[in-house]
């Protein structure tokens, strides 16, 4: 089947208490690891492409890899999503390039400017049958060109503003700031997510899909492997998985995961290089890295409760 948008995915996720995993892709091995896990677990999938990924691999290569994944998995609904589009022009280009979903991130602008740019993107995207995600409130941490705030608790999404924002822009889903943070060094102590923000928006806008950014868990097994084989990530800390599971039972219908992919790949490559210092065949270290990604993604699909849900999202 062809690429799909996220409308049916979010409808079913909201109704049945799960979230769809949105995984960032940068090359073939990462994509293959994700797809292998998805195919075995029969889960819906959102493949995200950031500006950094487009600059690294070029859109033509990434699109070709995704097209193969779609062709080889006709029973799996797959959406292609722009992650953190920063301008109207970027979002427009991605709509024209065949993305089925785009995100316009105007969260660093004023409320009124965020509404203005989001509405502009929505009008163009909807005219081309593409759905739009926006963001209100600000996260912490750093992810590529996205630099967050230092005090995430002071920049949570205001539920009343969220309602106004959604009604004035017509945006299809909203990324909310509930205390999460980008990157591997999210927190100094285990965070407590602002679940009450989700509850309030859900009460005000029943049925409306919300999105969690900055939701990698910085899994201990990969942090330990990286540090064991020469890395220096002693203070890396992510979002507890039980908190994510709690959130997806509510209005959270999409959870973004990027850092955990990078850590799985890096940990396994470091291990291969340490155990086989003479190895120079990329297939011999990228292959194990791909398998580590597959295992991690399979685990995440159960955290999100979306394993086995592919058929209902078609």
Q: Tell me, what CATH number does 268's domain have?
A: 3.20.20.70
Bigger pLDDT: 226 or 184?
226
Dump strand ranges (E) for 60-100: 78-85
Amino acid 280: pLDDT? 97
Residues classed as catalytic: 83
Amino acid 190: pLDDT? 66
User: How many domains does the chain divide into?
Assistant: 1
Mean pLDDT of the chain: 91
Amino acid 144: pLDDT? 45
Q: What percentage of the chain exceeds 90 in pLDDT? A: 82
121-165 pLDDT, tens digit each:
999 999 999 999 999 987 644 444 544 444 545 578 999 999 999
Q: Where are the alpha helices (DSSP H) in 149-231?
A: 159-169, 195-204, 220-228
Residue 2 lies in a domain: no
Residue 156 lies in a domain: yes
Q: What percentage of the chain exceeds 70 in pLDDT? A: 91
Residue 155 lies in a domain: yes
Chain-centroid distance, C-alpha 66: 16
Q: Which domain holds residue 257?
A: 7-313
Amino acid 77: pLDDT? 98
Residue 117 lies in a domain: yes
Residue 305 lies in a domain: yes
Residue 196 has pLDDT above 50, yes or no: yes
- Report the run of H or E that residue 33 belongs to, with start and end: helix 28-41
Cβ proximity of 106 and 90 under 8 Å: no
Residue 21 lies in a domain: yes
- Packing angle of the helix pair 195-204, 159-169 (nearest 10 deg): 50
| pTM listed for this prediction | 0.93
Cβ proximity of 300 and 260 under 8 Å: yes
* The pairing of beta strand 101-104 with beta strand 146-147: unpaired
Residue 170 lies in a domain: yes
Bigger pLDDT: 265 or 234?
265
């Amino acid at each position: 089947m062809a690429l799909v948008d996220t409308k049916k995915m979010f409808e079913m996720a909201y109704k049945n208490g799960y979230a769809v995993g949105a995984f960032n892709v940068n090359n073939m091995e990462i994509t293959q690891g994700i797809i292998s896990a998805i195919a075995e677990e029969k889960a819906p999938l959102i493949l995200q492409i950031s500006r950094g990924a487009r600059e690294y691999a070029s859109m033509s290569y990434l699109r070709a890899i995704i097209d193969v994944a779609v062709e080889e998995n006709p029973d799996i609904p797959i959406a292609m999503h722009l992650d953190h589009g920063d301008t109207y022009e970027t979002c427009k280009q991605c709509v024209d390039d065949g993305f089925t979903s785009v995100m316009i991130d105007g969260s660093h602008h004023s409320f009124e400017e965020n509404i203005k740019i989001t509405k502009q993107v929505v009008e163009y995207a909807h005219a081309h049958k593409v759905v739009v995600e926006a963001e209100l409130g600000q996260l912490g941490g750093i992810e590529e060109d996205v630099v967050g705030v230092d005090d995430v608790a002071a920049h949570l999404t205001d539920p009343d503003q969220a309602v106004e924002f959604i009604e004035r822009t017509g945006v299809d889903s909203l990324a909310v700031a509930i205390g999460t943070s980008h990157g591997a060094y999210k927190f100094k102590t285990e965070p407590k997510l602002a679940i009450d923000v989700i509850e309030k928006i859900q009460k005000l806008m029943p049925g409306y899909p919300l999105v969690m950014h900055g939701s990698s868990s910085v899994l201990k097994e990969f942090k330990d492997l990286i540090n064991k084989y020469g890395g220096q990530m002693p203070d890396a800390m992510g979002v507890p998985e039980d908190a994510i599971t709690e959130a997806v039972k509510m209005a959270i219908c999409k959870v973004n995961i990027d850092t955990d992919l990078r850590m799985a790949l890096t940990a396994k490559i470091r291990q291969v290089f340490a155990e086989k210092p003479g190895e120079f065949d990329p297939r011999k270290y990228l292959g194990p890295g791909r398998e580590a990604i597959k295992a991690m993604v399979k685990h995440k699909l159960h955290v999100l409760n979306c394993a086995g849900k592919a058929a209902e999202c078609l």
